[in-house]
Structure 1
Amino acid sequence: MFKKEMFKNKNASQNLMEYSILYHTIIPFILSALAVVLITIVAERYGTKTGGVIGTLPSTIVIAFLFIALDKGTEFASESVAVVPVEMGINLVFLLLFTLLASRKILVALAGSLLGWTALTIVIFYSNLTSIVVSLALFALCFVVTFILLDKGKKITSQTSTEVHYTPLKLLSRSLIAGTVIAIAVSFSNVGVILSGIFSVFPAIFLSTMLISMREHGPQFAGAMAKGMIYGSPSVVSYAVAIYFLYPLAGILVGTIVSFLIGVVVTLVLFLLRKKIS
């Protein structure tokens, strides 16, 4: 009898470990790799405005909060998502800093933008922000300021298509960069109410997209890519706000589906309006 219990416990532990590896590593790696490859290819073929809008369609945040809700419940997920809009605003500051430092070495741009992101994130963490309204207001402020600084201050203009010869090695390297960064970030996305919200929108896709853009096309293209992703960021925020209200009311399945559809609608609106920005 004791041996049977030991065997059952061993199987349960093994299943839990397999589930954890699937959630924390494999799914985020595959999704993020596909997302970044899609963003960069779309931007290279159709311009940075289109790439930025398509690239900010809710993707990893959907998986992160789906598993957070399954693991900790809808109330925990709803509380965690309150910090997402302001953290998304900090991600826009990350893009701004990367662009401002992009004329220097890529390591300087990376270090400076990550230091800025870390400093602002620490402030948010210790503020214990729980109001979705305040969070949204701070996102709106970051959105307006970062976009204007790039558009009017730095006079970053959107880039049109650029010729790129795609090889399996090039696509593989893009996938590995994106997948590795995001798999690490998602590993920390289930460790407390505020931290779960913060790490669910860690700027991993932004980071890997900027690194690839800088490495392959230079600072001008990277800046245009940043501007495009800033413009497209409301789609992720709309998804976050939707699950904040819908998870407790409608449950995980309906809440996720309806919230994603809302994110898609916002993305379509931004896509249709993209020609109005320079």
Structure 2
Amino acid sequence: MEDLFYFKLFLAFTVGSTMVTLATVAAERLGSRIGGLIGGIPSAVAISLFFIGYTETPQLASEATSTIPLTMGLNGLFLVIYVGLARWGAWIAMAGALFFWVALAFLVILLNFNNFLFSLLFFILSLAGSYLILEKGYHLPSTEKILMPYTPLQILSRAFFSGSIISGAVYLSRVGGPIWGGIMAPFPTIYISTLIIMAKSKGVEFSRRITKPLLVSGMVNVVVYSTAVRYFYVLFGLALGTVLALGISAASTYGIYWFLKKRMS
């Protein structure tokens, strides 16, 4: 039985890294409209929750969503701190933002927090507050079409990082329970890799400017998907629940794409 679990863990890593690679390449190669839609799908969280449900039970995967909105709220604050510290360089900004994220995530685990409604409220306040700080406080200009020509090494590094986080979320759900999995699944993997790549290729100031579209598309889509999973996994099971949640997420992704396009036109 334990061997089967580790096989599923390896499968989670393989599928997760492959899907993130495909999404990254598609977002780069298929143009702004299709690429933007694909890039907005919460692939890492979707795969994490699916494999938590596959290795454990759909009920446990549903329970793991309790902390996901709160963790996504922390991700919004992660971006705000990065922007605030970026004047001292990208690496200092990233280190400071990560330290803040890990400290608060650890506090959530210590408190054994699992209140979904409070988690959702925190997310809404964090999303609104973070957006206002980036827009009004730091006066970040809107960025139009973002061309991200990844090198093969960057794509592989991003895939490995994402696959590790996904398999880590599945493993922690087994040994630590759903709260650990719910904290690990939305770890800001894509934010970190995107900001580092942009800071190195286009400069720190440009990496600050892309935090607004990252904030809106990344945070909202993940919470919409995880909320759908919370109810659909219990009502419809793992397979159908995943399909229905992806459909809800696709509609959300499309709406956010047009919102961002209008805001940046």
| TM band (smaller chain) | 0.7 to 0.9
Q: 1:180 aligns with which of 135, 143, 160?
A: 160
The normalised TM-score by structure 1 is 0.84
Q: 2:112 aligns with which of 128, 132, 137?
A: 128
* Alignment correspondent of 1:117: 101
Task: Report deviation, 1:122.
Answer: 1.4
Task: Work out whether 1:223 is the aligned partner of 2:176.
Answer: no
Q: 2:144 aligns with which of 143, 155, 160?
A: 160
Query: Which structure's CA Rg is the greater one?
Result: 1
Change (3 A) 1:31 1:196: same
Change (3 A) 1:252 1:86: same
Task: Work out whether 1:33 is the aligned partner of 2:18.
Answer: no
CA contact (8 A) 2:81 2:97 kept: yes
CA contact (8 A) 2:5 2:55 kept: no
The normalised TM-score by structure 2 is 0.88
Identity %: 26
AA paired with 1:210?
L
Task: Work out whether 1:262 is the aligned partner of 2:242.
Answer: no
SS in 2 for 1:146: helix
AA paired with 2:56?
K
Unaligned 5+ runs, structure 1: 1-8
Task: Report deviation, 1:46.
Answer: 4.5
- CA offset digits 1:69-116 (Å, max 9, x no partner): 011111111111111011011111112212222232222012111001
Task: Report deviation, 1:163.
Answer: 6.9
AA paired with 1:79?
E
AA paired with 1:182?
S
Name the stretch that deviates more: 263-272 or 30-39: 30-39
Superposition pairs for residues 237-252 of structure 1, below 5 Å? 237-252=223-238
Unaligned 5+ runs, structure 2: none
Name the stretch that deviates more: 138-147 or 53-62: 53-62
Tell me the number of residue pairs that the alignment of Structure 1 and Structure 2 aligns.
258
- Structure-1 separation of matches of 2:140 and 2:36: 14
CA contact (8 A) 1:247 1:256 kept: yes
- Structure-1 separation of matches of 2:81 and 2:160: 23
CA contact (8 A) 2:140 2:209 kept: yes
AA paired with 2:65?
V
CA contact (8 A) 1:37 1:174 kept: no
- Structure-2 separation of matches of 1:146 and 1:56: 19
CA contact (8 A) 1:92 1:142 kept: yes
- Structure-1 separation of matches of 2:222 and 2:164: 20
Change (3 A) 1:54 1:140: farther
- Structure-2 separation of matches of 1:189 and 1:146: 26
Task: Report deviation, 1:187.
Answer: 2.7
